[in-house]
């Protein structure tokens, strides 16, 4: 899980850049299992991103292949480095239904 704090007025653009990285690099990285992006209701310049990886090795690989690229892409828009905390998933139940056709390339 990573918490990103953008400079005033840079949250929307910064989040769009992070979303591009997640929707390209993360999906191309072995072991990626999903992501949830959250924008704080009370602070549009704060974003929390939860990524799910199959194991510790995939998580470590993502730090080099995905996280570092995301950081480079938004470094001018953030107040400082994102706070990162790793968790092991105990249980989960996710369900999403899209009203429009969607395919990963």
Q: Which of 104, 61, 79 is nearest to 3 (CA)?
A: 79
* 68-99 residue pLDDT tens: 888 988 999 999 999 999 998 888 887 766 66
Residue 53, pLDDT > 80, answer yes
Supply the pLDDT for residue 97.
Answer: 65
Neighbours of 32 (CB within 10 A): 21
Domains of the chain: 2-84 (3.30.70.100)
Supply the pLDDT for residue 56.
Answer: 92
Residue 10, pLDDT > 80, answer yes
100 pLDDT band, cuts 50/70/90, is low
What strands lie across the sheet with 43-53, from one edge to the other? 32-40, 43-53, 2-5, 83-84
Question: pTM to 2 decimals?
Answer: 0.79
């Amino acid at each position: 899980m990573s918490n990103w704090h953008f400079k005033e007025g840079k949250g929307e653009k910064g989040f769009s850049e992070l979303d591009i990285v997640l929707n390209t690099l993360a999906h191309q990285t072995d072991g990626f299992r999903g992501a949830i992006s959250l924008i704080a209701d009370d602070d549009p310049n704060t974003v929390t991103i939860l990524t799910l990886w199959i194991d510790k090795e995939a998580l470590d690989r993502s730090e080099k292949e995905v996280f570092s690229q995301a950081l480079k892409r938004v470094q001018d828009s953030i107040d400082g480095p994102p706070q990162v905390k790793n968790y092991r998933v105990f249980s989960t139940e996710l369900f999403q239904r899209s009203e429009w056709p969607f395919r990963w390339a």
